[in-house]
Amino acid sequence: MTVRKFRARLAAIGDDELCCGAFWQADDFLRQRPALTHEEIVAAIEYAEDHHDANEGFNWWHLEQAIDGVMPEEVEE
């Protein structure tokens, strides 16, 4: 989701409503893997959203799993 879509989603909720959550950005994925391209980050974010488990949450482990889920496996010679 883009920041624009996130803001639109929040705009539909009253300012005094209670909430909690995590907010992860592309830079967080780059902290895990600095060489990621923009396209790889987009794919990893989509993977993270599609494979989210509320029992696990969005955390560093989940981001790493999302990156692993979209990156091709390196072939060892």
Model pTM score: 0.75
pLDDT tens by residue, 23-49: 889 999 999 999 999 999 999 999 999
Q: What is the pLDDT of residue 6?
A: 86
Parent domain of 63: 22-77
- Confidence band (pLDDT; 50, 70, 90) for 75? very low
Residues contacting residue 26 through CB under 8 Å, at least 6 positions apart? 38, 41, 45
51 in Cβ contact with 66 (< 8 Å): yes
Torsion from C-alpha of 18, 50, 34, 2, nearest 10 degrees: -50
Asked if residue 1 is part of any domain, the answer here is no
Asked if residue 50 is part of any domain, the answer here is yes
Asked if residue 34 is part of any domain, the answer here is yes
The CA distance from 35 to 37, in Å, is: 6
The CA distance from 8 to 44, in Å, is: 22
